[in-house]
Amino acid sequence: MVLLHFNKDASVIIVDVRIRGSNNVVLNLKMALDTAATCLSIPSVIAEKLGFESATTIDIVTVSGKETVATTFLPLVSVGGLSAINVKTVVHDLPDSAYVDGLLGLSFLRNFNIFINFKEQYIELN
């Protein structure tokens, strides 16, 4: 079990995420917890550092409309010591004003039971 603390008044819950790419490069990222995002999402600059290769695309819906994005599976994604393997990931550049490196979506989250306690300001993953 992992407890992640957050500020309930913040507009976004930011989570420290460790990702290993297909080239074995490991990056520590700040990602927004997003239960509405189907997949984990990383920007193109991070995808390049992780050795991202894709022959597959999917359509996603964003606030700016429908977009076609590259997709692949990341070998390892970890939060607080809990890891998931082969996590479906899309490459999508967020606006600069997002202040995060990507979105921690359902392709990672569905590997765990999640409890969000807004009153006491923590998330429990197990």
For residue 59, name the pLDDT band (cuts at 50, 70, 90). Answer: confident
Share of the chain above pLDDT 70, in %: 99
Model pLDDT, residue 94: 83
Question: Does the model's pTM come out above 0.75?
Answer: yes
Contact 16, 6 (CB under 8 A): no
Contact 87, 109 (CB under 8 A): no
User: Does residue 57 register a pLDDT over 90?
Assistant: no
| Domain ranges across the chain | 2-125
Kindly give the residue spans of alpha helices, DSSP state H, lying in the chain: 44-49, 106-109
CATH number of this structure's domain 2-125, picked from the four choices 2.60.120.10, 2.40.70.10, 2.40.50.90, 3.40.50.300: 2.40.70.10
String of DSSP letters for 27-57: EEEEEEE-TT-SSEEE-HHHHHHTT---SEE
